[in-house]
Structure 1
Amino acid sequence: MTTAPTTAPVSAPTSATRSVLVVGGGAAGNAVTVLLRRAGIAVDLIEAADDWNATAGSGITLQGNALRVLRELGVWEQVRASGYGFDAVGITAPDGTVLHVAEDVRTGGDDLPATVGMQRPRLQSILIDAVRASGARIRLGTRAESLDQDGNGNRDRDGVTVRFTDGTVGRYDLVVAADGLGSATRSAIGITDKPEPTGMAIWRVAAPRPAGVTRTDLAYGGPAYIAGYCPTSDSTLYAYVVEAGRDRAAIPRESYADEMRGLAAAYGGCWPEITEHITDPAKVNYTWFDRMLVEGSWHRGRVVLVGDAAHCCPPTLAQGAALSLEDAWVLARMLTSADVWDGALLQAYYERRIARVRPVVEASVRIGQWQLDGDRDADVPGLMGRTMSALRELP
């Protein structure tokens, strides 16, 4: 992929004539598509996967500030009906003894639950339906092969010419890169930041929900750094075990269930009932914890980053999806309320978001590092409380 970036203005006379390409059909890409279409902007969404829902994963924890954006998208009632809402988190000993139960901060406001857990494929399905209903043009199994930006961009109809892998060509006023951690668009526009491993990794699996699981419980200690679970519906949950990062290539895929079950078997409480369902290696997921925060700006000319393409952090605060959805909401609001799309507008988007995203990324990484270092004096509850309380404010 090649590009000729520029920092000159992008402008168009009316929203009805503006066109946007969204690269990536995950949460951020789907959200920004729905919001821009609602304002009458023409949107093409491309997704590299042939099956839009193929890599949706096991489960997801949605904090209140994520729910606030989902409500803006008009899908909150479906999310509420499909997931499992709760307002507390439990801390347990490895044997399952409950040590402390804390009320979660309602980061989306008092009229939304603090947290909803749900099956990630179900969330993706809800967002896909919203994108289809928005009237966006959707192209699956398609990538952007090259991005060519016009001269100095000062003319009203200057834009980005995109050549696609299917041989077609399109022209857009703006390209929104929502293509995730390994964003090809990010590197194509000359941003060299890449995700870096933090030293931890996580095993995840979906399983039936024991009747006693009505909130997230986290066990610290034992053979893993963290063993936790989150209810995702009346009948399901997803469970996870966090350990030191290992060479993924050295772990045979067919051993995934055995690896996770071996770690989970050391935990008590509801874990024995969960562990007996960790049998199919195809249903177990193993990923590293990564961190990345693009500094300075999230755009080059008429191409702008959202979500994991711009930032990522360990899920120690469960804020990944929330921050990505907030990016989409803020960018869409700024674009749809502006008469001119230019570098100043996109820089203002970055400055508005970086002030909110940086503390979350730094806190998420710090909590994990405290565990890696075995710091028994670390104020994990205090840092979590301060960070989450700040997220109650509108982004």
Structure 2
Amino acid sequence: MSTPRTVLVVGGGAAGNAVTVLLRRAGLTVDLIEVRTDWNVTAGSGITLQGNALRVLRELGVWEEVEESGYGFGSVGITAPDGTVLHAQDDLRTGGDDLPATVGMQRPQLQQILIGAVRASGASVRLGTTAEILDQDGEGVSVRLSDGTESRYDLVIAADGLGSTTRAAIGITAKPEPTGMAIWRVAAPRPAGVTRTDLAYGGPAYIAGYCPTSDTTLYAYVVEANRDRASIPPESYADEMRRLASSYGGFWPEITEHITDPAKVNYTWFDRMLVEGSWHRGRVVLIGDAAHCCPPTLAQGAALSMEDAWVLAQMLTTADTWDDALLQAYHERRIARVRPVVEASVQIGQWQLDGVRDADVPGLMARTMTMLRELP
């Protein structure tokens, strides 16, 4: 067998951490580099993990930790802006009947769990480090790290996110594009009655929602049309989110009273991107947000990224040789699954932007989630 044995993973988010653990488990030598010195442990408020994400986390060996740290639930509520529950729908268990439909958790807690798995795997980790592709051929890639060291790898996996510098460096010109929406997010204490995600449509925002992330916490979010970020000073973030959230009833007044610290409020635009054609150039291959991103209207961003890691690791560790045909097969296997999720996520948001009142949102969501129940 001539399977290459050395891999550089660029980026220590969900995708990069996952692929590192899986490749190390198969006995490969893996170096992981991450530009942020804090390894992203302070980034984000909360995350919604659908069953297909939980399936990968179980494969990584961290499901028990996720289950203990997060908050599992099986339905979503639709409410009027005043908090009146209009409809409650059971979520499809996309990870199989032996996993919850959904787990909400604090994003930094998920990152800590994944970091623990990477550390336990024995991978070499360098933080505050970037990589420059020097050259490559059919056998490998020469890389210079920002600390001045140079190494040769059989494969480089670019998991460096939406603004991937590796993607640009290998000549892939795709860039994220704004969809026209933006989201305010904050972590807050969980009112005792919040036991699932509830979504309110209408009012001053397109969506106002929340998701329990533990026995004591939740994250809340408000979606509006995107604004010029330069016109919103960071010190006003809490005031801006509180202004929008104060129009909603039900549990929102209790949540809103905790939106006081602008440093804990996050404001980001919704973006979309899907790299067309192959996701590799030679021995450099993209996974996760470096290859695709979509609005969180289906809560599938992290799930798709971790699925990329799982599929690529499976293919790399079962192939006799790593070549162009293998990496192209990875792309073809993933694009058939990723494209409909990206398109559905964008479409749901566009219907709201266009004010389409008779859009079949439930039908589109049901078709997409049913597809995701199948193994990637």
Structure 2 residue 241 is matched with structure 1 residue 263: no
Q: Give the match for residue 34 of structure 2.
A: 47
Distance 1:55 1:147 in 2: 32
Partner of 1:147: 134
2:7 is the alignment partner of 1:13: no
Provide the aligned C-alpha RMSD in A: 0.8
Q: Which amino acid aligns with 2:79?
A: T
Other-structure match for 1:351: 332
Deviates more, 1:161-170 or 1:214-223: 161-170
Q: How does 1:306-317 map to 2 (within 5 A)?
A: 306-317=287-298
The residue that corresponds to 1:239 in the other structure is 220
Q: Deviations over 1:52-85 (max 9, x none)?
A: 1344210000000000000000000000000000
CA distance in 2, matches of 1:249, 1:343: 43
For 1:389 and 1:268, how far apart are their aligned partners in 2? 32
Aligned to 2:210: 229
- Identify the residue that residue 194 of structure 2 maps to in structure 1: 213
Between the aligned residues of both structures, percent identity stands at 85
Deviations 1:152-188 (A, max 9, x none): x2xxxx2101001111111100000000000000000
C-alpha distance in 1 between matches for 2:43 and 2:237: 18
Which 5+ residue runs of structure 1 have no aligned equivalent?
1-11
Structure 1 Cα separation of the partners of residues 2 and 18 of structure 2: 24
Kindly report which structure 2 residues correspond to 1:61-140, keeping only aligned pairs within 5 A, or say none. Answer: 61-140=48-127
TM-score calculated relative to the size of structure 1: 0.94
Q: Is the 8 A contact 2:3 2:319 kept in 1?
A: no
Aligned match of 1:197: 178
Kindly provide the amino acid, as one letter, of the partner of residue 295 in structure 1: E
Q: Which amino acid aligns with 1:345?
A: L
**Separation in 2 of the partners of 1:297 and 1:226?**
35
Distance of 2:142 and 2:228 partners within structure 1: 40
1:173 aligned to 2:154? yes
Aligned residues: 376
Any idea what the Cα deviations from partners look like across 1:200-258, whole Å, max 9, x if unmatched? 00000000000010000000000000000000000000000000000111100000000
The whole-number CA distance in structure 1 between the counterparts of 2:133 and 2:274 is 25
Correspondence 1:298 to 2:279: yes
Q: Aligned equivalents of 1:354 and 1:50: distance in 2?
A: 32
2:159–2:286: 8 Å Cα contact kept in structure 1?
A: yes
Find the aligned partners of 1:55 and 1:364 in 2 and give their Cα distance.
27
Equivalence map 1:379-394=2 (5 Å) = 379-394=360-375
User: Following the alignment from structure 1 to structure 2, what is the Cα–Cα distance between the partners of residues 128 and 56?
Assistant: 14
Q: Shift in Å at residue 14 of structure 1?
A: 4.4
Determine the C-alpha separation between the residues in 2 that align with 1:240 and 1:227.
Answer: 6
What TM-score comes out, normalization by structure 2 length? 0.99
> Which amino acid in structure 2 is aligned with residue 69 of structure 1?
V
Distance in 2 between the 1:62 and 1:14 partners? Answer: 33
